[in-house]
């Protein structure tokens, strides 16, 4: 008879998160600034300047041939003004996310390149889906970047406990619940709470496996993230352990106000935006 799983404690999750690069607080502060109607370029610049490496990357990107400036940008404020707040948010989020997700997860048997490719695809896909549904996209990209944080945290917990790698024959969520007492979506919600991210982002990540039951739900951050995961799966950018968890049906798409043809048409846009984002990150 199988013994009951030992529920992952807050202390274990905190220890697992503390092993990750300290980027959560930077993303959280940037999100707060960008969502404040009274904030502007000076506020974002003050936040960027805290991280010397990030400030350098903003200036490098602003002065790259990609943006075609005639005169060289010399200050962070000028760089942000030229790049735009949306691109700065994407740059900060992507660079921070790459530090966390460009790594192999031995207990989930996921390679570093595949994890980062999937992360970027879901982040970009969240923006693509939000735009198509005319939904709020304020946290779409960030939600996409952070959606697998529970998997990363539980991989660290598995390493600390000395647990064997997951058997691919065992469904992902079953293995997690049998091993940790929770699944990665619930773990992600707890991690983002530990990092003090807003509830809207925490709920989006926690509910991403649930197909939206209504048009309003489809336009919510959780619905957008779920559809973005489906889109990434369609574009061969899904994670093998999650195979089968993000399948769309004609009925499910109809709830979101989409036909199968309309949803399929988002795939070329997703691939284009992934390549564009990768190019920007290489310039930075």
Contact status, residue 86 vs residue 142, Cβ threshold 8 Å = no
Structure-token pair, residue 13: 């999750």
- This prediction has a pTM of 0.89
Q: What is the pLDDT of residue 24?
A: 61
Structural domains of the chain sorted by starting position, each given as residue range(s) with its CATH number in brackets: 10-18+85-283 (1.10.3210.10)
**DSSP line for 137-196:** -TTHHHHHHHTTHHHHHHHHHHHHHTPPPPPTTS-HHHHHHHHHSS-HHHHHHHHHHHTT
- Long-range contacts of residues 129-134, Cβ cutoff 8 Å, at least 24 apart: 129/224, 129/227, 129/228, 129/231, 129/266, 130/224, 132/258, 132/262, 132/266, 133/218, 133/219, 133/224, 133/227, 133/256, 133/257, 133/258, 134/219
- Stretch 120-148: mean pLDDT: 94
In whole numbers, what is the pLDDT of the chain averaged over residues?
Answer: 90
Picking from 128, 82, 96, the residue whose alpha carbon sits closest to that of residue 272 is 128
Q: Which residues of 184-208 are buried (b: 16+ CB within 10 A; e: fewer)?
A: bbbbbbbbbeebebeeebbbbbbbb
Q: What is the pLDDT of residue 1?
A: 46
Picking from 156, 128, 154, 158, the residue whose alpha carbon sits closest to that of residue 141 is 128
| Model pLDDT for residues 204-262, shown as the tens digit of each residue | 999 999 999 999 999 999 999 999 999 999 999 999 999 999 989 999 999 999 999 99
Indicate the pLDDT class of residue 3, thresholds 50, 70 and 90: low
| Model pLDDT for residues 22-54, shown as the tens digit of each residue | 666 677 777 777 777 777 888 888 888 887 888
Contact status, residue 136 vs residue 130, Cβ threshold 8 Å = yes
Q: What is the pLDDT of residue 81?
A: 87
| Model pLDDT for residues 4-29, shown as the tens digit of each residue | 778 999 899 999 988 887 666 677 77
Picking from 200, 252, 246, the residue whose alpha carbon sits closest to that of residue 221 is 200
pLDDT at 67 exceeding the cut of 80: no
Contact status, residue 97 vs residue 56, Cβ threshold 8 Å = no
pLDDT at 264 exceeding the cut of 50: yes
């Amino acid at each position: 008879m199988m013994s009951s799983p030992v529920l992952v404690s807050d202390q274990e999750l905190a220890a697992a998160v503390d092993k990750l690069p300290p980027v959560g607080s930077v993303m959280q502060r940037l999100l707060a600034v960008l969502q404040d109607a009274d904030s502007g370029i000076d506020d974002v610049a003050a936040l960027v300047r805290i991280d010397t490496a990030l400030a350098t990357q903003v200036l490098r990107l602003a002065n790259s041939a990609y943006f075609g400036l005639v005169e060289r940008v010399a200050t962070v404020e000028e760089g942000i003004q030229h790049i735009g707040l949306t691109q700065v948010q994407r740059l900060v989020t992507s660079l921070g996310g790459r530090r966390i997700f460009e790594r192999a997860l031995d207990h989930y048997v996921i390679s570093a390149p595949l994890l980062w490719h999937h992360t970027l695809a879901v982040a970009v896909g969240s923006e693509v889906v939000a735009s198509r549904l005319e939904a709020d996209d304020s946290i779409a990209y960030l939600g996409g970047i952070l959606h697998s944080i529970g998997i990363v945290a539980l991989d660290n917990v598995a390493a600390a406990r000395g647990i064997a790698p997951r058997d691919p024959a065992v469904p992902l969520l079953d293995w997690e619940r049998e091993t940790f007492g929770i699944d990665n979506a619930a773990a992600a919600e707890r991690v983002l709470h530990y990092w003090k991210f807003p509830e809207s982002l925490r709920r989006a990540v926690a509910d991403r496996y649930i197909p939206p039951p209504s048009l309003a739900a489809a336009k919510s951050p959780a619905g957008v993230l779920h559809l973005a995961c489906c889109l990434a799966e369609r574009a061969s950018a899904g994670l093998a352990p999650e195979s089968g968890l993000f399948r769309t049906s004609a009925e499910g798409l109809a709830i979101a106000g989409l036909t199968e043809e309309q949803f399929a048409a988002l795939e070329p846009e997703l691939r284009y935006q992934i390549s564009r984002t990768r190019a920007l990150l290489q310039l930075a």
